[in-house]
Amino acid sequence: MYMRVLGTTACSIVALILSSCGGSTSSSEGMLGEIPAYYEKQGLDFCAQVSEIGKASGYSQDQETVEKVVKLAMDLSEKSKEEGKTLADKLIGKVVSYQETEGLPYKVVSDVTITDIELPSFTFNSFMFDELKVELKYQVVATEDISERYLFTYCFITDTEGNNLDCASFTGKAEGNPIAAGDTVTVADAIKIAMVSADVLNKFHTLKFVSEATYEEQRETINKQMEQWIKEYETKMTPEEKQ
């Protein structure tokens, strides 16, 4: 059944991954815990095992070889769901470090906590893990009239030295009337994080709350850097076709 669905895609990707691949990663405790290092290791181990299948078959793309690669991918998908959940559970309730800058129309008045984790899925069109989804919750008090029922909080995700690594906006909703100065608003929203090198993701440490103007000024630069990290990660996880 899966060969009918994935056969064409699997053949094209097997042509690319039936060669050796390398790379290593180190683990460090950050906002995302052990998740980045775990998923990078799974991806690299997958490449190494596929390389062995390729060598053993003489880099054939016949049905038997493709079936072995697809089965390996399916096993990895199931394994990563089970083992990844254990790592995700450790992060539930974790308090995230944050910093507030000047010019905000609100004041953060609670801890910023992780309430849920949606783990990356192993995608069969690319044989790579997709994005990680982290749900956060915190409370803010409006310091001025918002005149709407929604309050938008804009953040940069920084390392311990204050370098911007990613960006996101989180929305809080008031019940009933538009938000006025002094109102407390609960923000419960999620950030989607691309699976890039663990060396990058392990540095995710602090939420830096910034004004909308600052966010818009720097968002493009931050996104371009993330796009570059994504390309580098895809290269790391996708070996060149054997010559």
Statement: residue 4 has pLDDT above 70 = no
Distances (CA, A) of 238 to 21, 32, 121, 187: 8, 24, 17, 38
For residue 77, tell me if it sits in a domain: yes
95-115 pLDDT, tens digit per residue, is 999 999 999 999 999 999 999
* Reported pTM: 0.82
For residue 243, tell me if it sits in a domain: no
For residue 164, tell me if it sits in a domain: yes
Q: In whole angstroms, give the CA distance from residue 161 to residue 205.
A: 9
Q: What are 123's two structure tokens?
A: 């995608």
Statement: residue 127 has pLDDT above 80 = no
Statement: residue 9 has pLDDT above 80 = no
Q: What's the structural domain count of the chain? A: 1
158-208 pLDDT, tens digit per residue, is 999 999 999 999 999 988 889 999 999 999 999 999 999 999 999 999 999
Q: In whole angstroms, give the CA distance from residue 68 to residue 66.
A: 5
pLDDT number for residue 74: 87
What residues form DSSP beta bridges with 97? 206
Following DSSP, what letter does each residue of 194-241 receive, concatenated?
----HHHHTT--EEEEE-HHHHHHHHHHHHHHHHHHHHHHHHHHSPPP
Domain span including residue 135: 2-237
Q: What are 225's two structure tokens?
A: 């850097």
For residue 242, tell me if it sits in a domain: no
pLDDT number for residue 196: 94
Q: In whole angstroms, give the CA distance from residue 211 to residue 102.
A: 8
For residue 74, tell me if it sits in a domain: yes
